[in-house]
Amino acid sequence: MSRLLVVCRGNVCRSRAAEHLLRAGLAGTGITVGSAGTHALAGAPADPLVVAQLRARGVDVPPAPARQLDRAALRAADVVVVMTAAQRSAVVAVDPAAVRRTFPLRQLARLLATPGTAVPGADAAERLLTLPALLAARRSARPPDGGEDVEDPYGRDAAVTGRVVAQIEDAVQGLVGALLQPAPPGAPAPGRTPGDVDALRGV
């Protein structure tokens, strides 16, 4: 089983939206998805406007309190997805070993959309494990003007929340599609060993 952790600031808006969209898209793949916040609103439920946006898309949001990010959660995750470049830095401050497997969501989607990019692996769970190594050499690709941060809709109106959730949904679809799509014949084998996986996790 592979683990994907989604991180934002408060763990009530962006990371919750991405978490539940990813759970829906990756159901039955052997990938578990969780979320946390760098400055979690401890005990708070998901933002009602975010919940409404997800339910309008047919995505259920079970009640769960916001969770504070910690080193144990990062060590347990094979890939960490954040909403901003600053949050990537915050993740690395908690656990420096997470640096090579932590990606801003929109950057991740953009890199995976590069022509000729195929994630190696026998199934979605294995492809998630190969993702950091595949994308390591592509991080330097110049991002589009305006950056790739996902803005925080917390405390904003329904229109802003709707725009942000749509942006997250678009990026999530790119990630899910890449994980579900088998690499074409002749693509490099993942070559992942248990020791490699432990190294990625910082064990």
CATH of the domain at 82: 3.40.50.2300
pLDDT of residue 182: 83
pTM here is 0.88
What total of structural domains would you count in the chain?
A: 1
53: confidence class by pLDDT, cuts 50, 70, 90: very high
pLDDT of residue 79: 98
Query: Largest Cα–Cα distance of the chain, in whole Å?
Result: 49
Whether residue 192 is predicted with pLDDT greater than 60 in this model: the reply is no
Share of the chain above pLDDT 70, in %: 86
Range of the domain at 156: 2-201
Sign of CA dihedral 58, 64, 68, 73: negative
- pLDDT over 90 (residue 190): no
pLDDT at 145 over 80: no
